[in-house]
Structure 1
Amino acid sequence: MKEALFIIVLVCCSLTAAAQRQVLKGKVTSAFEDTGGVYVINRKTEADATTDAQGYFTLPARTGDTLVFASERFEKFRCVVTDEDMLHSLRVMLKPKVQELKELVINDYSHINEESLGLVPEGQKQYSPAERRLATASYSKMNPMGLDPVINWISGRTAMLKKAFEAEKKENIIMNIENIYNDEEIIAKFNIPPYYVKGFLYYAADNNYLADALKAGNKERIAFLMAGLAENYLKLLNDEK
């Protein structure tokens, strides 16, 4: 009788021990963000923990408990603890929340210019800053006194302004090329070494046919001319070696 009672008590103790929660170790990961500060809640017991800077946490749990992972930066996630989790550790990957941006409205103001505002007569040629300085220095019709062209010719200022105008024109051509091809595309499509991409752009900007194709927006001709210019540029590089 005593022996039977002892067995019953032993079984009860074993069941009680099995029912007690043990410390569950776990780690939270994410593909894009650090996972520190994530709340982990045991829905069964309301016990909670917070992940450390590396995403690790410990929490009393047992097989069958439901854990909830919550954070302002991640989508809420639930999982049920398994025997494997208790034996080793629990690994959870969270998905970052997708932040919806408010609608962005882009207004087109390209129709607003000096002419539409009545600042210059309709149909009058529009000058860039460099063109305006060059025209003022070179032509007396843009200078009522008529003296600047002579003074500038003597001082050499006109030549300097011509260089500035050509430099601005070349920069505009380079900017138009970069609007079509980024550095990676120039390297991949035209086999230009990364170190020489900027040099190639300046070389290509001197080609009048390419400038005309860019002005016309003819992408097929631009690609054809760029390929030919790249081939010539690479030959020049090889000749210099």
Structure 2
Amino acid sequence: MIHKFICFLIVVLGQNGWSQNSERSVINGKITSNTANTSDLEGVYVINAQTEASAITDASGSFSILAKADDVLVFSSVGFKEKRVVLTSENFTDLNFTIKLNMVMHQLEEVIVKRYDNINAVALGIVSADQKSYTQAERKLKTATALDPTATAGGMVGGSISADPLLNFFSGRTAMLKKEKEVEKKEFFMKLLEKMFSWEHFVERLKIPAEYVKGFEYYAVENDKFTVILNSKNKTSTEFLLGELAVKYKELIAGENK
């Protein structure tokens, strides 16, 4: 008797579900968005809130799902705001049934960056105030020539020094790094000189021919006395010595052109 009752319920529920689906038909539609990226339209869930049937949009944003008038379609995706649409009978005959979704906009809060000039490695105690700062070329040279008294050189009793400085010396690497250091120093002084005096100053004030200005700059920074004055950033003293060098340089040009 119980088995008959269960079978009766299954038949009734099945007929009820079939009758509900028989009242529904396939509706075709498409989603759009205010974003220019069409790839976002793929993978949006379309759920019939009444039957819990679901579909997923394709690459063009198109979808198909069983529904009827007055059913509610829910459009859900991570990148879009959820949207609910109550269907009307006209939607089933509309060949261009389109639903527009809005992108989820994540607005960042205002970020204020404050500059603290008094906070640096010295102020934090990371390095001492009198510690020498090295340029990149100077660091390379110091590393290549530094002796390491803690090296054990293969476990020799009492320790020894690292062989790297010797290898660098005989291979020519030390000489190359020293040359690189000198080139870096000259480039630094060249930039400092060009920052302090304009091209017009060399041509109009010092009477250096325009095509020889760059050569004169190299000539000036080769003078150790001049680079010391230049590095002090005393423009008056630098200009005075630069004038003396300009006279000598023009004499050299005149001698070459004879």
State the TM-score, normalizing by the size of structure 2: 0.47
1: CA distance, partners of 2:150 / 2:217: 36
Tell me: CA distance 1:110–1:195, structure 2 relative to 1, closer, same or farther (3 Å): farther
Shift of 1:122: 3.9
Q: In the alignment, what sits opposite 2:177?
A: 161
Equivalent residue in structure 2 for 1:190, among 206, 210, 214: 206
Alignment check: 8 A CA contact 1:140 1:146 kept: yes
Say yes or no: does 1:180 pair with 2:187: no
Q: In the alignment, what sits opposite 1:208?
A: 224
Counterpart secondary structure, 1:140: coil
2: CA distance, partners of 1:142 / 1:175: 39
Tell me: CA distance 1:203–1:188, structure 2 relative to 1, closer, same or farther (3 Å): same
Say yes or no: does 1:199 pair with 2:206: no
Alignment check: 8 A CA contact 1:115 1:122 kept: yes
2: CA distance, partners of 1:150 / 1:159: 12
Equivalent residue in structure 2 for 1:170, among 186, 189, 212: 186
Query: For 1:11-160, what aligned pairs fall within 5 Å after superposition?
Result: 114-116=121-123, 118-141=125-148, 146-160=162-176
Shift of 1:212: 1.2
Tell me: CA distance 1:116–1:198, structure 2 relative to 1, closer, same or farther (3 Å): farther
Q: In the alignment, what sits opposite 1:218?
A: 234
Alignment check: 8 A CA contact 1:136 1:142 kept: no
Which is greater in Rg?
Answer: 2
1:162-218 Cα distance to aligned partner (Å, 9 max, x none): 111001111111111111111111111111111111111000001111111122222
1:126-152 Cα distance to aligned partner (Å, 9 max, x none): 111011111111221599662221110
1:109-131 Cα distance to aligned partner (Å, 9 max, x none): 76665434554344221111011
Counterpart secondary structure, 2:141: helix
Aligned residue identity for 1:225: L
Unaligned runs of 5+ in 2: 1-113, 152-160
TM-align CA RMSD: 2.5
Aligned residue identity for 1:193: P
1:51-90 Cα distance to aligned partner (Å, 9 max, x none): xxxxxxxxxxxxxxxxxxxxxxxxxxxxxxxxxxxxxxxx
Aligned residue identity for 1:220: T
State the TM-score, normalizing by the size of structure 1: 0.50
Identical pairs, percent: 41
Unaligned runs of 5+ in 1: 1-106
1: CA distance, partners of 2:255 / 2:174: 36
1: CA distance, partners of 2:245 / 2:121: 37
Tell me: CA distance 1:117–1:160, structure 2 relative to 1, closer, same or farther (3 Å): farther
Counterpart secondary structure, 2:133: coil
Tell me: CA distance 1:195–1:117, structure 2 relative to 1, closer, same or farther (3 Å): farther
